[in-house]
Structure 1
Amino acid sequence: MPAHVPPVADERDGLLAYLAQQRQALRVTAHGLTDDQARQTPTAGELSIGGLIKHAARCEAGWTDLILQRQRGPRRTADESDSAEFRLTPEETLADVLDQYEAAARETDAVIAGTADLGQAVPVPQGLPWFPADVPAWSVRWVLLHLIEETARHGGHADIIRESIDGATLFPLLAAAEQWPNPWFEPWRAPAG
């Protein structure tokens, strides 16, 4: 059945399949939106669908960097606001952040495929208040589980935002985006007008 993770062969396959499912659920909240709609913040908070996808792409790339123990650009410090990471700038488009998210996902998948042991240590960055000071390392497995958790959380945010924009919900959006042949969900169609 569409929207379900297919059978999995092993732990690595299962973790990557569930992460892929959550990524797709987040991405599909943007289906059919304009750049202006992707920037909208229709709830009481400052989150937008475009901003959530931008944040998810940057976070996933950051966790992949931690696994590889590489640093691209300066690390965020404790006194920097992350509100800009949750917004599309006037120069950014929804297509841009969707492409960034797809690139981050491909890289994560390749890194995990090339990691022999999911128990491999991933050192915890020190000196940042959002990371525990008393934990020296996570495992690659833990990072994958965390990515699933974070992606699902932000997918839920995006669901609420999308429904606030035009009433669209996940399964009709999936039916439209993936062109489901089954009759259980009427595919979403852009509102007239």
Structure 2
Amino acid sequence: MDANARPVADERDGLLTYLAQQRRVLKAAAFGLTPEQLRATPSASALSVGGLVKHVAFTERGWADTIARKPRAASVEDYGAEFVLTPEDTLESLIAAYDEVAAHTEEVVAGVADLGEPVPVPDEPWFPEDISEWSVRWVLLHMIEETARHAGHADIVRESIDGATAFELLAATEGWEPTPWLKPWEPTPSA
């Protein structure tokens, strides 16, 4: 596999494929991190790679539930807590939870007959008050945008931790053969 999304068959497949691609890149940013590195905030922001994975999974779950007309799991007061890792949060548990969310999203979207179907705008202060609904299509595009934005944040945080870059990490996670221009990431031996 390479770093690109695979060819797509139609609009729905394209939206889900690009969302999956961005999930893949975000998860690669976390690959091989120690518990301390997962929580590290080495840049000017308070973002950690683990917190970004947790936040994006939380946000995607909220959007999938909104498409499915289920109540959102958290309140405005809870915003921000999903960036914070608990002592129980591990790389494995975060990735497993994110994979569950991805499967849930795929299932919800598979059950939608028309991507133009309306989705109510959540009653949260960061959403416009003059719009009452978006479409499933809009929500999927928004999820791609949100995931890509945070995958970029995770790339910066990860590179600040140990110098690893997205292509090296993808090569390591997917077992790419080394080439003259790219070597899969390997952990630095402990001193």
TM range (shorter): over 0.9
- Correspondence for 1:169: 165
Counterpart of 2:9 in 1: which secondary structure? coil
Of residues 104, 108, 122, the one that matches 1:107 is 104
CA distance in 2, matches of 1:44, 1:19: 28
1:76 equivalent in alignment to 2:72: no
**Can you give the 5+ residue segments of structure 2 that lack an aligned partner in the other structure?**
none
Shift in Å at residue 8 of structure 1?
0.8
Q: Is structure 2 residue 60 aligned with structure 1 residue 60?
A: yes
Other structure's SS at 1:29 match: helix
- Per the alignment, residue 145 of structure 2 pairs with 149
Structure 1 CA distance, aligned partners of 2:164 and 2:79?
28
Paired residue for 2:36?
A: 36
The answer to whether the aligner puts 1:47 opposite 2:27 as a matched pair is no
Is it true that 1:136 corresponds to 2:132 in the alignment? yes
- Give, in whole Å, the separation in 2 of the partners of 1:83 and 1:64: 19
Displaced runs of 4 or more, over 4 A: none
1:158 matched residue in structure 2: 154
Tell me how far apart the structure 1 counterparts of residues 134 and 15 of structure 2 sit (CA, whole Å).
16
Tell me by how many angstroms 1:81 deviates: 5.7
User: Aligned AA for 2:43?
Assistant: T
1:144 aligned counterpart, secondary structure: helix
User: Matched residues in 1 for 2:23 and 2:72: separation?
Assistant: 23
Alpha-carbon separation, structure 2, partners of 1:130 and 1:91: 30
Letter in 2 for 1:45: S
**More displaced 10-residue stretch of structure 1: 106-115 or 160-169:** 106-115
Matching residue of 2:187:
190
Does 2:113 align with 1:116? Answer: yes
Partner Cα separation in structure 2 for residue 3 and residue 108 of structure 1: 22
Displacement of 1:91 in angstroms is: 2.1
Q: Residue type of the partner of 2:30?
A: A
Please give the alpha-carbon distance, in whole angstroms, between the structure 2 residues aligned to 1:144 and 1:37.
31
- Unaligned segments of structure 1, at least 5 residues: none
The TM-score, its normalising length taken from structure 2, stands at: 0.94
> Aligned Cα RMSD in Å?
1.3
Cα distance in 2, alignment partners of residues 13 and 84 from structure 1? 32
Between 19-28 and 109-118, the greater mean CA deviation after superposition: 109-118
Quick check: 21-30 or 83-92, which moved more?
83-92
